[in-house]
Structure 1
C-alpha cells in the first residue's frame, strides 16, 4: 500500500486540521469504499423495490442470493488472493513486468473454471426447483464476482486504489440502475440487473489492468510454479475468509436461528441486520488503522531495514525498531479510541437509528455486541497486516486457523446458551485471537534483529 502511504503522509505533514481530516477521509473511503458501496447497493435495491416486486419475499430471496454469491466468491478466491499478490510484488521487484499480465490471465482462467464448476454443481443439486433463468444468472454472477475479487487484489498490489474505488462507484451505479429498471420481472429481473451491473464493473477493472500492463505472451503459468508459489499465503487467504463468515454460516444453518429462503440458501433474520450495521460502523476504525499503519509504521519499517542494509550503528537499528513498535502501539490505541467513541454513539442513538430503518429496538443489544466484535476484527486485521510486513506467514496461518475454529465453536456455544448470548461467540473468538496475535507480535519484535541478521 505504498501508494496510499505516500498520499497520506503528504496530507498529514501539512499539520492542518483540513489536511488531517482529508487524510482520514481518504483512508476511510479507500479501505472500506468497495464494501460500503456493495452493502448499500444491495440495501437500496431492496428498499426501492418494495412497492414494485410482489410478493416481497422475492426481494428477500434476491438479497440472500447475492449475499451468498459475494460470501462464497470471497472464500473460493481466498487461496488465490494473497498468493497472487505476493507473486505480483516479487515480479515487479525483479522488474519482470512481462510476467505480470500473462499470469494474471492464468489466475483468472483458473478462477473461472473453479468457480464455474462449483456454481454448476450447486445450482444443479440444490436449486432444481428454481427457474432456469435464476440458476443461469447465479452461475454467471458467481463467476463474475470471483473474477472481480482477483482483479481488485491485482490492482491493489500495483497501487491502483483510486481507480478501484472509481470503478466500484460507476459499477454500482449501473448495478442499482439496471436492477431497479428490471425489478418488475421479479427475482430474475433483480438478479439479471445485478449480474449485468457486475459485468460492467468487471469490464472497467479489466480495462484498467490491460491499460497498465503489456506482455508478448498472452498467458503463462509461473504463478502456479512451486518455486514461486507460497502455499502458506493460499491457506491464510482461505482461513481468513472462512473465519470472517463462519459465525454467519452457523446462524444461517442452525435450526434455532436460521430459516430456508431459497434452495440451499438460509438466512437468520435475528442476526443478519445487526451484523450488517456493525460492519458499516467500523469504517472510522478502518480509516484510523490505515492512516497510522501507512503514515507512521511503514516509514519506520523502511528506516529500520535501510539501517540494516547500510550498516548503521546498533544504536540506530535499535532506535528504529523501537519506533516501529511505538507506531504499532499508537495505531492500535487509536483504533480502540475511535471505536469506543463509535460505540458510545451507538448506545446513545442506536435505538433511533434502528427506528429510522424500521427495525425493532430489541435488536440494540445484539447490535452493540456486533459493533464490538467488528471493531475487534479491524484490530485483528491490523495485527495480521503488521505480521505480514515482518514476513511472519506461519504465525499468520496459525492465527487465522485458530480464528476459524474459535468463531465456529464459540458461535455454536452462544446459540446453545440462548438468545441473550447471540453475538458473544463472534466477539469472544476475536478477543482470543487478538490477544494471541498481540503476544505473537511482541515476540516477533523482541527477536527482530536476531531474525534479520541470523535467519537470512
Structure 2
C-alpha cells in the first residue's frame, strides 16, 4: 500500500480542508473496495426491486446467491492476495517493473482456472431446479469477482487514483442500474445485471493495470516460485478470510437460525441483514485506518530504517521508533473515536434506517453489536498491517488461525444461548484476537532495535 500512502501524504501535506477531505474520500473508497460496495449495492437492488419482482422470494435468492459468490471468491483468492502483493512490492523495489504485468496475467489465469473449476463443481450439485442461465451466471460472476479481488490488490501499487475511483463509480453504477433495469426478468435478470456490472468494473481496472505497467513477456509464472511466493502469506490470506466468514457459515447452516434458499445455499434472515449494514457502516473507520497507518506510520517506518542504514545516532533511531509507536496508537484511537460516533448515530437513527429499508426495528440490537464487531475487525486489520510492515508473518498466521477457531466456537455458543446473544460470538472473537494482536505488537516494538541489529 506504499503508493496509496504516498498519495495520501501528498494530499494531507496541502494542509487545507479540501485536501484532508479528498484524502479521507480516497482512503474510504479505496480501502472499502468491492466488498462493502457490493453489500451496499445488494441492499439497494433488493429494496428497489420489491415492487417489481414477484414473488419477492426471488430477491432473497438473488441476495443470497451474490453473498455466497462474494464470500467464496474472497476465501479462494485469499492465498493469492497477500503473496502477490509481496511479490509486486519486491519487484518494484528491485526496479524490475517489467515482471509485474506478466505475473499479474499468470495470477489471473490461475485464479480464473481455479475459480471456474470450483464454480462448475458447486453448480453441478443441488441446483437442478434452477434455470441454466442462473448457473452459468453464477459461474461467470464467481470468476469475475475472484479476478476483481486480485486486480484491487494489484492496484495498491498504482498512483492513478482518480482513474481507479472512476472505475469503481462506473462499475457500481452499472451494477445497480443494470440489475434494476433487468429486474422484471426475475432472479436471472437481477443476477445478470450484477454480473454484467462487475464485468465492466473488472474491464476498467484491467485497462488501468495494462496501461500503467510495461511487460517484455506476455506471461510469466515466477510469482509461483516458492522462494518468491512466501507461503506463510498465502496461509494468512486464506485463514483470515475464512475467519471473517466462519460465523456466517455457522448461522447459515445451523438448524436453529438457517434456512435453505436456493440449491444448497442457506441463509440466516435474522443475522445476515444486520451484518450487511454493519459493514457499510465501517467505511469511515476504514478511511481513518488507511490515512493514519499509511500516511503517518509508513513515513516513520521509512525514517526509522533510513536512520539504521545511514548510521544515525541512537537518539535519532529511538525517536523514530517512538514516533512509529505513537502513530499506531493515534491511528487505532482515531478508528475507535470514529466508530463510537457511528454507533451513537445508529442508536439515534438506526430504527429510521431499518424502517427505510423495510426492515423490522427488532433488528436494531443485533445491528449495534455487528457494527461494534465490524469496527473491531478494522482494528485487527490495522494491527495486522503494521505487523506485516515489521515482517512478523508467523505471529499474524497464528492469530488468524486462532481467530477462525475462536469465532466458530463462540458463534456456536451464542446460538445455543438464544437470540439475545446473536452477534456476540463474532464480536468477542474479534475483541480477543485484537487484544492478543496488540500484545504481540507491543512485544515486537519493545525489541525492535535488538532484532534489527542482532538478527540480520
The normalised TM-score by structure 2 is 0.96
Other-structure match for 1:57: 57
Query: Does the 8 Å CA contact 1:65/1:265 hold for their aligned counterparts?
Result: yes
Equivalent position SS for 1:51: coil
Pairwise CA distance, 1:343: 1.3
- List alignment gaps of at least 5 residues for structure 1: none
Counterpart-to-counterpart distance in 2, 1:343 and 1:362:
17
Matching residue of 1:104: 104
The DSSP-based 3-state class of the residue aligned with 2:220 is coil
* Matching residue of 1:12: 12
Matches within 5 A, 1:185-264: 185-264=185-264
Structure 1 Cα separation of the partners of residues 22 and 101 of structure 2:
33
Contact kept? 2:37, 2:280, Cα under 8 Å: no
CA distance in 2, matches of 1:82, 1:339: 27
Q: CA RMSD in A?
A: 1.5
1:335 matched residue in structure 2:
335
Task: Indicate how the Cα distance of structure 1 residues 135 and 110 shifts in structure 2: closer, same or farther if over 3 A, else same.
Answer: same
- Alpha-carbon separation, structure 2, partners of 1:353 and 1:341: 16
Match of 1:281 in 2: 281
Aligned to 1:119: 119
- Distance, in Å, in 2 between the alignment partners of 1:386 and 1:205 is 27
Shift in Å at residue 129 of structure 1?
Answer: 2.3
**Kept in 2: contact 1:155–1:161 (CA 8 A):** no
CA contact (8 A) 1:24 1:288 kept: yes
Partner of 2:379: 379
What secondary structure sits across from 2:266 in the alignment? strand
1:302 aligns to what? Answer: 302
Partners of 2:85 and 2:374 in 1: CA distance:
25
1:400 aligns with 2:384: no
Which residue of 2 is the match for residue 356 of structure 1?
356
Distance 1:24 1:217, change over 3 A: closer
Q: Retained in 1: the 8 A contact 2:2–2:156? A: no
- Conserved? CA contact 2:4–2:157, under 8 Å: no
Residue 452 of structure 1: CA displacement?
0.9
With over 3 angstroms needed to count, the CA separation of the structure-2 counterparts of 1:25 and 1:204, relative to structure 1, is closer
What 5-or-longer segments of structure 2 have no aligned partner? none
Shifted more, 1-10 versus 80-89: the winner is 1-10
Superposed displacement of residue 35, structure 1: 3.5
Instruction: Provide closer, same or farther for how the CA distance between residues 176 and 18 of structure 1 changes in structure 2, counting only shifts above 3 A.
Output: closer
SS of structure 2 residue aligned to 1:266:
strand
Q: Find out whether 1:370 has 2:370 as its counterpart.
A: yes
CA distance in 2, matches of 1:184, 1:21: 40
Following TM superposition, by how much is the alpha carbon of 1:86 offset from its aligned partner in structure 2, in angstroms? 0.6
The 8 Å contact of residues 4 and 158 in structure 2, kept in 1 or not, is answered as: no
User: More displaced, 281-290 or 79-88?
Assistant: 281-290
